[in-house]
Amino acid sequence: MKSILKILSFLIILLIPVVVSSYSQVEEKKLDSITIKVKNKNISWKILYKKLNTALEKKYLNPKKSFLYLDSISKKFELHNSKTAKDFLFILNTLKKEYREKMLQNYENKNAVILEWWNIFDIDTYLTQRGLIEKWEYISYVQNLEKIRALWEFFDFIDEQKTLEWYLYPDTYDVNPENFKINNFVISQLTAFENKVYNKLFIDEVTKKQLYSTKIIESVVNLASIVEKEEKNSHEKPTVAWILKKRLKEYRHIWADITVCYPHKITSNQCKFYVSQYIKTKSEYNTRTKLWLPPTPIWNPSFNTVDATLNSKTSEYYYYLHDQYGKIYYWINYEEHKNNIKKYLNK
């Protein structure tokens, strides 16, 4: 027979089947005689609430699933009249109320906002948190070769890519939370790219013919995805793009550390914590060790960044860095760059 201590511990790490089967076997007198503890320490209901909330957010990315889980567990605790059970039921019901409100807010929100520095892992997480899809469902769709071939017939810029990462344009989209379909959402993203980027930058206004090969368009968008994260100031983006293009042309490594996270299938927020670790890992996306561009973009750039990359600003520089305030500095040679790393970054 499991103790209430083990039950609560299992609840915190959300081993659902164990929780349900264990609790049903606990006698009333056991509940009355045991104080709520976690790891042998007395714990307030507020701290326990926080731990459960954190665990729920980690396991279930959308509030609907969290609400349904809490609802099923709370029904088990309703069968017991002890103070411990009632206290814990209070925590569960408080969480239920909050997740129900989040769930209703998602259904009322008819917009999906996709940001410029998001990749497919960010978008998948966002749509999952909104309760619109199951986790990894979006990623599976935009990397499905059969789906890509079918879309190829409707969008000229799609080629034999293994992912649509190039063309999932960051924008605000209308969605119907009650009848959300991934194919419609992806088509909306591709249409936005076509109207806001492809037709404006890659199509001749007079002849309506494509100005560049699809491979060149891919390279421009790929490089733009790096510029998007390397430089936030729109006035500096053309110069940064020129430096990276010049380094590529002269067969130099472009040294854009932000690229290293992509093969590890993590979001842009997660990348902040792992980028220093992944710099040491060899991969096709590590631009410190691999010449040329990564196999795919690292996220989907905005029109302004693609435009800045296509129409980059000529300069004599080869190196740049940002200080702690985000101000950018440029240099011609590597010795200057090394000295200024020490000066501006204290390294």
Q: Give me the tens of pLDDT residue by residue for the chain, a chain 347 residues long.
A: 344 434 444 444 433 333 333 333 333 333 233 334 444 445 566 667 777 777 776 776 667 777 777 777 777 766 666 766 777 777 777 777 776 766 656 656 778 889 888 999 999 999 998 888 999 999 999 999 999 999 999 999 998 899 999 899 999 998 888 889 999 999 999 999 999 999 999 999 999 999 999 999 999 999 999 999 888 888 999 999 999 999 999 999 998 989 999 999 999 888 888 888 899 888 999 999 999 999 999 999 999 999 999 999 999 988 888 887 778 888 888 777 777 777 777 75
At residue 329, the 3 state secondary structure works out as strand
Parallel, antiparallel, or unpaired for β 172-174 and 319-322? unpaired
320 within a domain of the structure (yes/no):
no
Q: Give the pair of three-digit tokens for residue 180.
A: 């959300």
Q: Give the pair of three-digit tokens for residue 249.
A: 């042309």
Is residue 219 located within the same domain as residue 71? no
59 within a domain of the structure (yes/no):
yes
Is residue 9 located within the same domain as residue 144? no
Which one of 86, 108, 130 terminates a domain? 108
User: What range defines the domain where residue 17 resides?
Assistant: 4-108
Measured distance CA(210)–CA(204) in Å, rounded: 6
324 within a domain of the structure (yes/no):
no
> Tokens 């980059």 map to which residue?
312
Is residue 33 located within the same domain as residue 143? no
Q: Give the pair of three-digit tokens for residue 270.
A: 């997660």
325 within a domain of the structure (yes/no):
no
336 within a domain of the structure (yes/no):
no
8 A C-beta contact, residue 116 and residue 226:
no
Residues 6+ apart with CB under 8 A from 95: 49, 52, 53, 56, 66, 70
CA 95 to chain centre: 25
Which one of 84, 108, 132 terminates a domain? 108
Is residue 153 located within the same domain as residue 298? yes
Q: What is the pTM (predicted TM-score) of this model?
A: 0.72
Is residue 130 located within the same domain as residue 218? yes
310 within a domain of the structure (yes/no):
yes
Measured distance CA(239)–CA(41) in Å, rounded: 57
CB atoms within 10 A of CB 287: 25
